[in-house]
Structure 1
Amino acid sequence: MALRPLFETPNFVISHDAAHQWLYVTWRGEYDCVAAITGCILILRHVEQTRAHKILNDSSQVLDGWNEVARWVGENFFQQLTTQGVVAVAWVKAHDWPAQAAIDTVMQYVTQPLVDTFDDTVTAYRWLDNIR
């Protein structure tokens, strides 16, 4: 996987894999409502610019702070991804229990695109690579 960084801070990285036409997003640390929504907006912007149709969303290093935005992410953000042409998201779950619980809450509201959660990036990568 040849990744080209598109946006990078110590807690948030968006990279593009042109060969697969997907984004690889890494979240680290704690997020408040504003930071989480800002990250989602940045993802949408880069989906539009790259025309990526899949996302590997790695939240394995995320800590608590997503409860306030869980419903918005599930209902609005994922719907906007679909509108932008994203067909699948492989989501690596947080190791931190409160953050993992927030991801489970998000998943209750997702209707599209195709989203599945994983415990590790290798399994998530393989699943995403097999989605056509």
Structure 2
Amino acid sequence: MQLHLLSKTPCLSIYYDSKNNWLFLDWEGELTLPAVQVACVELARCFLHRPYPRVLNNNTQVTGVSWSVATWLVREFLPHLPLAGVEQVAWVSSASLLGRNMVQTVVNWLPWLSATLFDDLEAAVHWLRQVQTSGTTGFLLPQRLPATQAKLAQTVQELQRKVAAAAPPHQPVARRWSGLA
């Protein structure tokens, strides 16, 4: 993998993997609902710049997560992935039994989500390299129609508004670095 940091929050590092042409999400630590909400807003902002049909979602460094996170993801964030252009997700679960159960439950709640679960990063990388997406040929960047881009921008703005309204005043601010976008 050739990773280029796009954005970072206390619990999520978002990278573009230029070798494999996918988004790599590296989660870590205790995932609280406010921290995940801030991280997901940062992730949504990355999708504004371009579609990423393939996503490698790594939870191996997650030490804990509450069920409120799973519920929020299912209701407020994950349903928008198709609009963002996501077609395939390789989801590596944490080693904890609760973490694995939660990921499986989230995937079961969203049967339309094309997510394949893995126990280790190597297997997920191997699988995702084999997956073809409808919007890409080789390593050409997929494009969005202007109407889809406008709807995505509106959706991201609404997500930001909801998260800001729910955040406590001391909520950490995500750090952004300019990178490949």
Fold conserved between structures, TM > 0.5 = yes
Computed over aligned residues only, the root mean square deviation of the Cα atoms, in angstroms, reads 1.8
Match of 1:120 in 2: 120
Q: 1:69 offset after TM fit, Å?
A: 2.2
* Aligned length, in residue pairs: 132
Match of 1:8 in 2: 8
Contact 1:78/1:112, CA 8 A, preserved across alignment: no
The Cα offsets for residues 18-46 of structure 1, whole Å up to 9 and x where unpaired, read as 34331101011101111112222222221
Match of 2:54 in 1: 54
Q: How far apart, CA to CA, are the structure 1 residues paired with 2:115 and 2:2?
A: 23
Match of 2:108 in 1: 108
The Cα offsets for residues 88-111 of structure 1, whole Å up to 9 and x where unpaired, read as 110000112222222122112123
Q: How far apart, CA to CA, are the structure 1 residues paired with 2:42 and 2:30?
A: 17
C-alpha change, 1:42 and 1:112, in structure 2 (3 Å) is: farther
Query: After the TM superposition, which parts of structure 1 deviate over 4 Å for at least 4 consecutive aligned residues?
Result: none
The residue matched to 2:64 in structure 1 has which SS?
coil
Deviates most, 85-94 or 45-54: 45-54
In the alignment, structure 1 segments of 5+ residues that lack a partner are: none
Contact 2:9/2:39, CA 8 A, preserved across alignment: no
C-alpha change, 1:9 and 1:36, in structure 2 (3 Å) is: closer
C-alpha change, 1:66 and 1:55, in structure 2 (3 Å) is: farther
Match of 1:18 in 2: 18
Alignment map for 1:79-118 (pairs within 5 Å): 79-118=79-118
C-alpha change, 1:69 and 1:116, in structure 2 (3 Å) is: same
Contact 2:57/2:89, CA 8 A, preserved across alignment: yes
Bigger Cα Rg? 2
Contact 1:24/1:55, CA 8 A, preserved across alignment: yes
In the alignment, structure 2 segments of 5+ residues that lack a partner are: 133-181
Match of 1:37 in 2: 37
Q: How far apart, CA to CA, are the structure 2 residues paired with 1:127 and 1:75?
A: 27
Give the AA of the match of 1:34: P
Q: How far apart, CA to CA, are the structure 2 residues paired with 1:102 and 1:17?
A: 26
Q: How far apart, CA to CA, are the structure 1 residues paired with 2:51 and 2:17?
A: 11
Give the AA of the match of 1:125: V
